[in-house]
Structure 1
Amino acid sequence: MACSLELNLSKVLPQCTFRQLKQIHALIVTTFLNQNIQIFSKFLRRSTEFGTMEYPNLIFSQLGPELSNDIMIQNAMIRGYDTNGPFEKCVSLYDEMPLRGLKPHNFTYPYVLNSCTKMGWYRKGKQVHCHIVKHGFESYLAVANALFNMYVKKLDSCDPAVVDQGTSNDARRVFDDMCVKPVEVWNRMISRYVSVCDVQSARKLFDVMPERDVVSWNSMVSGYAEVRDVGNARDLFERMPEKDVVSWTLMIGVYANAGDLITARKFFETMPCKNVVSWNSMISSYTQHVQYEEALDLFVQMQSKDVVPDAQTFVSVLSACSHLGALEFGKWTHYLIEDWSHFGTILGTALIDMYAKCGDINRAFTLFIKMGKRDVFCWNVMIRSVAIHGRTEDAMKVYSLMQKEGLKPNDFTFTAALFACSHGGLVEEGERIFYAMEREFGVVPKLEHFGCLIDLLSRNGQLEEALRIVKEMPYKPDIAIWGALLGGCRLRSHFKLAEEVMERATGLETNESGVYVLLSNTHASAGKWPEAQSARENMDEKKIWKKTGCSHVYASNVTLEPRSRSYLDYNGEEKI
């Protein structure tokens, strides 16, 4: 009878509900099966599988030392805390095991290592690794997998530029010592090498793999894409026994990264099956290589194929609209976005940037106000956008409000704020912001920050102060700084200083026409025509030409077929 009951309980426990579990608990207690370690450990393990440790912890706390100090009971609780948390309890139970006279084994260590990994307790994990080696459990597959996962996660959490060789070697040593290596483990090791651009080590592993799957091939193609090795990437692609949509999309990136958009487009057109990632890869490639019209035309084609865009699609398209000044196309793109707030801050910022760069600063500001969550980058875009449109006071208000919101400005924030001060003539405010950068926010001024301050002072007649900063700053002045000084000289007809600045700027052997034009105009404004002519002749001798300004108005040459929510449906309606 007892054996039959135990057998039935063993069958019922894995599928029982939480309510049924409580009934089973009552049955175990009343039939004294709680003294049966096998049954009770299965019951306790099942109790941890409902997403919380409240009930299991209550059961465990009521156990006598005979049960609570059993290794199977301890392992059930350790497994439960690793699954549900708090993960600290998993590790603390492990630490208490020697005090209870218990020795961890191959069922204990994987859960403890997993909890250490989840919390980032890599030093503790390494201590556990030492115990594993000491007691001879490193060869067990589950233990080895948990160790490998821990060291790989540690590498993932580090900046690739500062990963120490020891950490990389730890992962590789565990990998080499594993008796059984599933293809997934090989793939993870290859991906680790690829992530730090060590394609040579990745290829050595790839070449000796006992078996490969499509992920193995794609990882290697991705590695060659990262280092822009088109030849090896193409060779592997041609040899792949099986190609999926990822394989084809990777090849688009390989050629796009190498600047060969024609071949990238051929791969895109040849793909047997495309998904939204494939379309995004081609559209973003056009945007990144300043082929904005092609990006928008391809987006129109994407719409005609009924492919649903995602946030990355819209960000790339809006970026192209921003650079082209294509406001109507940008509005249509906005019209296609069902709920832009659902996509997060990046897309919202892209919309703000598009409207601002296309001249509709009021719409940009309205979107900014309506955004629920705004990161530092979004605030930076807004500060610079209102400043470019001449609304200096608004830029300063946004800058001040950002700090009241508890966000810490970064170097781009200060560039935007100083730019606003420069174009609004706010000398005192600009100097206050510049000198507060390092003192109050710990941001060391870069060359562009000095350039903004020098431009601000030069525009407002404080040329001697600007020149003093140029001489004292820890950077070598570039042509933009000399140009700012020269512009100030022209405004104030300071010819002697202008000649000195021009002499210093000429020493840079720049091909920028702006400084020569500024010098010529400075002399011309004072009626010094021979000197003005000399500056122009100097340009001719150096074969430096001033480019004619132009305005770019986007016009799509794509014929659109009527379809739901197409460009033909768009009637220019306002949408926020």
Structure 2
Amino acid sequence: MPCNLELKISKTLPKCTFQHLKQIHALIITCSLSKNIKIFSKFLRRTTEFGRMDYSNLIFSQMGHDSSAEIVIWNAMIRGYAFNGPFQECIRMFDEMPQRGLKPHNFTYPYVINSCCELEWYGRGKRVHCEIVKSGFESSYAVANSLFNMYLKMPASFDVGLASNCKLDYARKIFDDMCVRPVELWNQMIGKYVNIGDVKSARELFDIMPERDIVSWNSMILGYAKGGKVANARGLFEKMPEKNVISWTSMIGAYADTDDLETARSFFETMPQRNVVSWNSMISSYAKHGKFVESLNLFVQMQSEGVTPDGYTFVSVLSACSNLGDLEFGKYIHYLSGDLSQSEVMVGTALTEMYAQCGDVDKAFAVFIKIGKRDVFCWNVIIKALALHGRSEEAIKIFLLMRKTGLKPNDFTFTSALFACSHGGLVEEGHIIFNSMEKDYKIIPKITHYGCLIDMLCRNGQLEEAMLLVEDMPFQPDVAIWGALLGGCRVTGDLKLAEKVVEKATEMETNESGVYVLLSNIHASAGQWIEAADARKKMDEKKISKKTGSSVV
């Protein structure tokens, strides 16, 4: 009878519900099967497979000393914590095992290593690795596989002082020592080499693989594509026994990245079947290379073929609309993208930028407000948009609101905020914002930030203070800073300083026409027409031409 009952319980446990589990628990107690470690360990293990550990922990804590001292019981709990968390409990139980006279084995170690990975306790994981070597379980496939994955996941920042590929060397050693290496394991190793740009090692491994699948071929093609070795990628592509949509899309990206859009389009047109990623690859390639009309035309073709666009499609097409100033097409994309509160933040940000670029800053702000979860890039776009459209005070209010949300500004945020202060005459606010960069956010100002601050001072006639800042800043002035100083000279009418600034600027051998045009205008505004003509003449001598201004709006 006990044997039959044990068999029935063993068959029922894998498919029972949580409610049935409690009934089985009652049955185990009433039939005195609690001391049967084999059946009870199966039961305990099943309790851990419902996503929580409270019931399992309760049962474990009520077990007698003899039963709870069994390795199979501890392994069931360690496995449960490794799957459900908290992962610290998995490590704690592992640490407690020696105190109970229990020795971990090949079933224990994989779950402990996986918990170390989840917690990012890689130092602890390496110490567990040492224990594994001492105990002789390194040859176990499950143990070796968990160690292999740990070293693959280990970030390059771990163990400062080691070369960035040292962690990969550990993984490779474990890989080489494994007795059983399925094709998936080979692909993981190749993929990691590709990710760090070591295509040579990836190819060496690829060449000695006992068998390859389509993932193996695609990984190598991607590796060559990322390294700009299109000929190598093409050679492998031609040799592939079978190709899928990923293979074709990788080749599209490879040729597009080397500016050969014609061949990329040829691959796109030739591929037997396309998915949304294929379309996105070609559409985004056109947009990145300034072929904005072609990008929009291909999107229209995508629509006509009934392919549903995704967020990445919308971002690329909106970028094309922004650069073309095509507000009507941008509105159409807005309609297609649907409810922004449900949309990805990248689409909302792209829409905000599109409306701003096309001159409708009010609509850009309305879109920004509706975006659910905004990231720092999203805030940067609206701050810059308001600043560019002369709404400097609003831009600074948004900047301050961003800080109140707890989101940390980056150097692009400060560039936009300082630009707003410069163009809005907000001198005091500009100083406060500039000083807060390093003081509050540990962001060291770059030359662009100094340029904005100098431009702000020059626009407000504080030329002397601007010159002092130029002398004190830890950078050599660039043409933008000299241009800002010239603009300040124009405001104050300081012709003598303007000549000095131009002399300094020309030492840079710049081809920027703005420096000479500004100097010419300064002389002209003072009625010095001969000097103004001389400044223009210098442009001709240096063969510098001024491009005619234009707008996409």
**TM-score, normalised with respect to structure 2:** 0.97
Q: Counterpart in 1 of 2:503?
A: 503
Q: Counterpart in 2 of 1:464?
A: 464
Query: How far apart, CA to CA, are the structure 2 residues paired with 1:484 and 1:194?
Result: 46
Point out where structure 1 has 5 or more consecutive residues left out of the alignment: 554-576
Query: How far apart, CA to CA, are the structure 2 residues paired with 1:51 and 1:102?
Result: 27
Q: Is it true that 1:6 corresponds to 2:6 in the alignment?
A: yes
How far off its partner does 1:161 sit?
Answer: 12
- Cα gap change, 1:25/1:156 in structure 2, threshold over 3 Å: closer, same or farther? farther
Q: Counterpart in 2 of 1:530?
A: 530
Question: Which amino acid in the other structure matches residue 33 of structure 1?
Answer: L
Q: Counterpart in 2 of 1:559?
A: none
Query: How far apart, CA to CA, are the structure 2 residues paired with 1:453 and 1:112?
Result: 54
Query: How far apart, CA to CA, are the structure 1 residues paired with 2:452 and 2:161?
Result: 31
Q: Is the contact made by 2:340 and 2:372 (CA closer than 8 Å) also made in structure 1?
A: no
Q: Counterpart in 1 of 2:91?
A: 91
Q: Counterpart in 2 of 1:181?
A: 181
Question: Which amino acid in the other structure matches residue 454 of structure 1?
Answer: I
Q: Counterpart in 2 of 1:316?
A: 316
Query: How far apart, CA to CA, are the structure 2 residues paired with 1:113 and 1:176?
Result: 19
Question: Which amino acid in the other structure matches residue 233 of structure 1?
Answer: A
* Higher mean C-alpha deviation, range 244-253 or range 433-442: 433-442
Q: Counterpart in 2 of 1:404?
A: 404
Give 1:254-269 correspondences, 5 Å limit: 254-269=254-269
Query: How far apart, CA to CA, are the structure 1 residues paired with 2:364 and 2:161?
Result: 37
How far off its partner does 1:159 sit?
Answer: 12
How far off its partner does 1:252 sit?
Answer: 0.8
Q: Counterpart in 1 of 2:512?
A: 512
Q: Is the contact made by 1:422 and 1:459 (CA closer than 8 Å) also made in structure 2?
A: yes
Give 1:94-493 correspondences, 5 Å limit: 94-155=94-155, 164-493=164-493
Q: Counterpart in 1 of 2:60?
A: 60
Equivalences, count = 553
Q: Counterpart in 2 of 1:539?
A: 539
* Higher mean C-alpha deviation, range 76-85 or range 520-529: 520-529
Question: Which amino acid in the other structure matches residue 287 of structure 1?
Answer: A
Q: Counterpart in 1 of 2:43?
A: 43
Question: Which amino acid in the other structure matches residue 546 of structure 1?
Answer: K
Question: Which amino acid in the other structure matches residue 196 of structure 2?
Answer: V
Q: Is the contact made by 2:340 and 2:371 (CA closer than 8 Å) also made in structure 1?
A: no
Query: How far apart, CA to CA, are the structure 1 residues paired with 2:49 and 2:454?
Result: 65
Q: Is it true that 1:494 corresponds to 2:494 in the alignment?
A: yes
How far off its partner does 1:343 sit?
Answer: 2.6
Question: Which amino acid in the other structure matches residue 73 of structure 2?
Answer: I
Q: Is the contact made by 1:106 and 1:142 (CA closer than 8 Å) also made in structure 2?
A: yes
Q: Is the contact made by 1:513 and 1:544 (CA closer than 8 Å) also made in structure 2?
A: yes
How far off its partner does 1:374 sit?
Answer: 1.6
* Higher mean C-alpha deviation, range 366-375 or range 188-197: 366-375
Q: Is the contact made by 2:337 and 2:343 (CA closer than 8 Å) also made in structure 1?
A: no
Any idea what the Cα deviations from partners look like across 1:240-286, whole Å, max 9, x if unmatched? 11111111111111011111111111111111111111111111111
Q: Counterpart in 2 of 1:557?
A: none
Q: Is the contact made by 1:155 and 1:168 (CA closer than 8 Å) also made in structure 2?
A: no
Q: Is it true that 1:72 corresponds to 2:92 in the alignment?
A: no
Q: Counterpart in 2 of 1:18?
A: 18
How far off its partner does 1:164 sit?
Answer: 3.3
Any idea what the Cα deviations from partners look like across 1:97-153, whole Å, max 9, x if unmatched? 111111111111111111111111111111111111001001111111100011111
Point out where structure 2 has 5 or more consecutive residues left out of the alignment: none
Any idea what the Cα deviations from partners look like across 1:416-466, whole Å, max 9, x if unmatched? 111001111112221221122212222111000000011111111111211
- Cα gap change, 1:253/1:517 in structure 2, threshold over 3 Å: closer, same or farther? same
Query: How far apart, CA to CA, are the structure 2 residues paired with 1:261 and 1:101?
Result: 67
Query: How far apart, CA to CA, are the structure 1 residues paired with 2:503 and 2:157?
Result: 50
State the superposition RMSD in angstroms.
1.7
Percent identity over paired residues: 66
Query: How far apart, CA to CA, are the structure 2 residues paired with 1:551 and 1:58?
Result: 71
Q: Is the contact made by 1:160 and 1:196 (CA closer than 8 Å) also made in structure 2?
A: no
How far off its partner does 1:405 sit?
Answer: 1.7
**TM-score, normalised with respect to structure 1:** 0.93
Query: How far apart, CA to CA, are the structure 2 residues paired with 1:45 and 1:369?
Result: 49
SS of equivalent residue, structure 2 residue 210: coil
SS of equivalent residue, structure 1 residue 341: coil
How far off its partner does 1:157 sit?
Answer: 8.0
- Cα gap change, 1:445/1:161 in structure 2, threshold over 3 Å: closer, same or farther? farther
Relative CO higher for 1 or 2, CA cutoff 8 Å, sep ≥ 6? 1
Question: Which amino acid in the other structure matches residue 155 of structure 2?
Answer: L
How far off its partner does 1:158 sit?
Answer: 6.6
Q: Is the contact made by 1:155 and 1:163 (CA closer than 8 Å) also made in structure 2?
A: no
Query: How far apart, CA to CA, are the structure 2 residues paired with 1:109 and 1:306?
Result: 51
SS of equivalent residue, structure 1 residue 155: coil
How far off its partner does 1:491 sit?
Answer: 2.7
Q: Is the contact made by 2:341 and 2:370 (CA closer than 8 Å) also made in structure 1?
A: no
Query: How far apart, CA to CA, are the structure 1 residues paired with 2:102 and 2:160?
Result: 40
